[in-house]
Amino acid sequence: MKTESAGALEQLIARAATVLRRARHVCVLTGAGISAESGIPTFRDALTGLWSKFRPEELATLEAFERDPQLVWQWYEWRRDLVRQAQPNAGHRALAELARRVPRLTLVTQNVDGLHQRAGSPAVLEYHGNILRDRCMLEQVVADRSEDSRHGVPRCSACGGLLRPDVVWFGEAIPREAMLLAAAAADDCDAFLSIGTSSLVYPAAGLAEVALQRRVPVIEVNPNPTDLSAAADLVLQGPAGTILPLLLEQLAHPPG
226 near ligand APR, rule: CB under 6 A: yes
Residue 35: its H or E element: helix 33-36
Answer for which of 1, 123, 141, 200 binds ligand APR (CB under 6 A) is 200
224 near ligand APR, rule: CB under 6 A: yes
130 near ligand APR, rule: CB under 6 A: no
Question: What's the CA angle centered on 197, arms 192 and 198, to 5 degrees?
Answer: 115
Edge to edge, the sheet with strand 125-126 lists 125-126, 105-109, 26-30, 191-195, 218-221, 234-236
Answer whether 221's CB lies under 8 Å from 16's CB: no
Q: How far apart are CA 27 and CA 106, in angstroms?
A: 5
131 near ligand APR, rule: CB under 6 A: no
Answer for which of 132, 223, 231, 237 binds ligand APR (CB under 6 A) is 223
Please indicate whether residue 128 is annotated as part of the active site.
yes
In sequence order, what are the beta bridge partners of 142? 135
Which is the catalytic residue, given 116, 128, 151, 253?
Answer: 128
Answer whether 110's CB lies under 8 Å from 197's CB: yes
- Map the footprint of ligand APR across residues 152-181, applying CB under 6 A: none
197 near ligand APR, rule: CB under 6 A: yes
Binding positions for ligand APR, rule: CB under 6 A: 31-34, 36-37, 42-44, 110, 128, 196-198, 200-201, 221-224, 226, 239-241
| Active site amino acids | 128
